[in-house]
Amino acid sequence: MNFKRSKNFAEALDLEDPLKSFRKKFHIPKANGKDAIYLCGNSLGLQPKSTKDYLDAELKVWADMGVEGHFKSPNPWFSYHKRSKKILSELVGGSVDEVVAMNSLTTNLHLLMVSFYRPNGEKFKIITEQGAFPSDQYALESQVRFHGFDPSEAIIELVPRAGEHFLRTEDILKTIEKNAHDLALVMLGGVQYYTGQLFDIEGITKKTHEVAAVAGFDLAHAIGNIPLELHAWQVDFAMWCGYKYLNSGPGGSSGIFVHEHHAKNFGLPRFAGWWGHSEKERFLMKKGFIPVKGADGWQLSNANVLSLAAHQASLEIFHEASMESLRKKSILLTNYTEFLINDLGIPNDILEIITPQNPEERGCQLSLLIKKKGIEVFEMLTKKGIIADWREPDVIRIAPVPLYNSFLDVYEFSESLETALDSLKLVKKGKISNY
């Protein structure tokens, strides 16, 4: 499509958008007395208007029935964690037995590493990306120490080539091959949180298995952003959080995927709790842990029903919209955003997009490296009602989310960016405009 940088053109794209009605299902935060331009759904997704009803329903059951809500309510709390399975399985491309919503992300990363980071003999190393999300770095480091290794020896970080901002798949695969002998685990983000790079999950998993190692992915920035096929791709395990693209509220439920290959491997070491124990025997309160098969066997505690109720409200919207349609709009919307920024003609020594240009290698996020007065540019955008995300030391991340962002949103963002750069005397407005 031949894009144009004009308000009319953006509005025309909105009119043609088959998903345009979904924006109305969300509360849009306000800034300066009107709807903010919210480009931060990769950090905290917006609240569906239906969330309140889902929460109210469970609050009412609790008020009316008390403990009987566990078994006698319309969505019994005893099995409430099963309610989200179908849609989660659609989102990650797995079976309902391979997924479960539980805990929070870092907790799940630890629980799954207990089972899937099993250093033995010479195979003890982990490959991860340099500059991974800090919580993942700390988790990996502490797991490695827990097994008695030195992180500087056991953790291999993938680094972009000199002068480049993201990783080349060939370099990732080569690093796996080179470390075949001592590699235990490849643990990467699905979409890198800082650069927005989408990794070749299938290719990386295949190579990892060739060297007899395990492949795990942190899908915090991938789920609800790009379509996934974890089962077909043979991914061993994965985890994600529910509050970013999945709009399940601050600290909202995380979820895990464990491939069917491991579903009945009850020999895998794991940290156990009663909710992972055989359902039939759960209330017999007997000695001896018998795990449920599949992902459910990694649960520890009875489900956080209020958190899962909010989760469900948003998942139903994903189901209605379908990941396929969302991805289609997402590619168009992100390509348009990229076009608008590039069309401003900002010199490379002031702004550079460090997210891959290839739509196949990214989701909806664009990371803008601002090389001069970065924080001031960001603050100026905030004043103009743009809610984006500042990442130290010099990156503004924006995520036009196909569920609720419009083409007009990103057009207005580009206008505000131009104005901000002009008022900070970085680039003169007339000069960067093509008109």
Ligand X SMILES: *Cc1c(COP(=O)(O)O)cnc(C)c1O
Could you list the residues that contact ligand X (CB under 6 A)? 104-106, 133, 135-136, 189, 193, 218, 220-221, 241
Q: Binding residue per annotation — 77? A: no
Query: Contact at 8 Å (CB) between 349 and 394?
Result: no
> Which residues are 120's β-sheet partners?
123
Angle, alpha carbons 300-303-309 (nearest 5°):
155
Q: Binding residue per annotation — 134? A: yes
Q: Binding residue per annotation — 221? A: yes
Shortest reach from residue 337's CB to ligand X, in Å:
21
Q: Binding residue per annotation — 367? A: no
Q: Binding residue per annotation — 218? A: yes
Shortest reach from residue 74's CB to ligand X, in Å:
29
Q: What is the DSSP string of 221-243?
A: TTTTTS---TTTTT--EEEE-SS
Task: Give the integer Cα–Cα distance in Å for 171 and 192.
Answer: 16
Shortest reach from residue 167's CB to ligand X, in Å:
15
Q: By CB neighbour count within 10 A (0-12 exposed, 13-18 middle, 19+ buried), where does 9 fall? A: middle
Query: Contact at 8 Å (CB) between 412 and 369?
Result: no
Shortest reach from residue 255's CB to ligand X, in Å:
11
Instruction: Please identify, using beta-carbon distances, which residue of 187 and 386 lies nearer to ligand X.
Output: 187
Q: Binding residue per annotation — 382? A: no
Q: Binding residue per annotation — 419? A: no
Instruction: Please identify, using beta-carbon distances, which residue of 396 and 421 lies nearer to ligand X.
Output: 396
Q: Which is it for strands 395-398 and 389-391: parallel, antiparallel or unpaired?
A: antiparallel
Instruction: Please identify, using beta-carbon distances, which residue of 208 and 254 lies nearer to ligand X.
Output: 254
**Cα separations in angstroms, 209 against 136, 233, 236:** 22, 11, 10
Instruction: Please identify, using beta-carbon distances, which residue of 93 and 252 lies nearer to ligand X.
Output: 252
Shortest reach from residue 129's CB to ligand X, in Å:
10
Instruction: Please identify, using beta-carbon distances, which residue of 220 and 395 lies nearer to ligand X.
Output: 220
Query: Contact at 8 Å (CB) between 238 and 219?
Result: yes
Residues flagged as binding site for pyridoxal 5'-phosphate: 105-106, 133-136, 218, 221, 243, 274, 302
Residues flagged as binding site: 105-106, 133-136, 218, 221, 243, 274, 302
